[in-house]
Copies of this chain bind each other. A is one copy, B any other.
């Protein structure tokens, strides 16, 4: 193995080098992300309106687009120390296998029981809920990563955690459900008879296996109808990107520690929380005119919000109970093909990431899932880590870029986000291993049909 004796396989920061504040990229954006709108009035949501649903401190973070650094409370930093700093790994084996002169690094967020970066925001949101004297929080979960992360954070702080889990996942992913239960969460298959909206949906569609939109509606109702509860969300929102900036800040610090300057930064993009967190400090340097990077957002071809969506105001949820956000969207009715196993199924994209993309600070590419799983398996065998399908979108493009370097002879430095592990995604891997995975890309007509449902407001 050819290695650089100056650069270890894994760069770990010391505890004393860990970030003490989150970085709020909005403070450096000339074009601020557009505000959330009240769907009833078409006017920006006020803090008061938001506080009916979200915790007070988190509403402040949601609305704050001027403060560049927001201190991380000590209790959250203590929790971070249990599973952070995450390693920045030099992919020596992958480089050798590809025969590329490129230097490849990945920031690995999978070394915690939630299996992903979601925990970074879950602990922050649970902390502020606890701090406000609340009894508990409610949320929805699809595959279960976010629900698991929130369950862990709530167990640690002694906060009640109620998770509405899309019914088909509840039944098909019993292991995720059990992890949440082991952490003391109350997991309810959605739609359920515990909420008015759930009962209504069950009456109208008795056999439904649920959807994320329905689970959001139930979780919001559960939060607003119980004394001392608020609703929390694992992606898309500005506050979530703020918390996830810890990924980018650690990455920047680890690179600086060894004098490494990246050329290309790659992240997968669903709702945008991991990508936004990883790229924040780098985008900040670009926004301040200090440096330039190629930043690449990778999304699934079956859910291509950045590459084929429209940059407009849209509903954040299928049930239309949440505020409107300006973002690249495929329309809130859009549902990726049922055969799509690669995650990143959200119809829209974080307003921050959308604005940065609109303003030319990042590129976007879409990839098909068979190519994604091909890269995932290749990576697993070479680097030893079984990646989550979501993360594998970034792996695919990192490999493609490294292969281009082999062809051009350029020794570019590539950094990508490896957001999590695939231990609970083996059904998808099995489909790939059995040669039964297919790609299904929405037609222009299908996209036009779902975009026809965009609200007539805020446009």
Contacts and interface: CB of A to CB of B under 8 A. Distances in A.
B93 A10 contact: no
A426 to B, nearest CB: 4
Interface stretch (A172-180, A286-294, A356-364): A172-180
A202 interface: no
Given A12-B12, A15-B9, A377-B182, A384 B83 contact: yes
Interface in A166-194: 174-175, 178-179, 181-184
Contacts of A184: 381
- Secondary structure at chain A's binding surface: helix, strand, loop or mixed? helix
A181 B111 CA distance: 22
Contacts of A423: 113, 115, 175, 179, 423-424
Interface string A366-407: 000000000001001111111000000000000000000000
A152 interface: yes
A112 B433 CA distance: 21
Contacts of A93: 82, 156
Contact of A113 (B79, B174, B380, B433): B380
A49 interface: no
A24 interface: no
Contacts of A111: 111
A182 B93 CA distance: 18
A75 interface: yes
A8 interface: yes
A14 interface: yes
B78 A426 contact: no
Contacts of A10: 81
B15 A113 contact: no
A155 B377 CA distance: 11
A115 to B, nearest CB: 8
Kindly state the interface size class of chain A when it binds its partner.
35 or more
A81 B87 CA distance: 12
B426 A384 contact: no
Contacts of A182: 377, 380, 386, 429, 433
Contacts of A429: 178-179, 181-182
Contact of A433 (B155, B156, B181, B381): B181
A384 B433 contact: no
A302 interface: no
A426 B377 CA distance: 24
A424 B385 CA distance: 16
Nearest to A434: B181
A178 B9 contact: no
A178 B430 CA distance: 6
A172 to B, nearest CB: 12
Contacts of A178: 426, 429-430, 433
A421 interface: yes
A1 interface: yes
Given A1-B78, A421-B113, A179 B386 contact: yes
A15 B78 CA distance: 26
20 contacts: A3-B78, A8-B14, A8-B15, A9-B81, A82-B383, A82-B384, A93-B156, A111-B111, A112-B384, A113-B384, A115-B423, A155-B381, A156-B382, A174-B430, A175-B175, A175-B426, A178-B433, A182-B380, A183-B380, A183-B381
Interface of A: 1, 3, 8-10, 12, 14-15, 75, 78-79, 81-83, 92-93, 111-113, 115, 152, 155-156, 174-175, 178-179, 181-184, 377, 380-386, 421, 423-424, 426, 429-430, 433
- Give me the 9 closest cross-chain CB pairs, A-B, nearest first: A175-B426, A155-B381, A9-B81, A178-B426, A113-B386, A178-B430, A423-B423, A8-B15, A1-B78
Given A83-B384, A182-B433, 5 more contacts: A82-B384, A112-B385, A113-B380, A183-B380, A423-B423
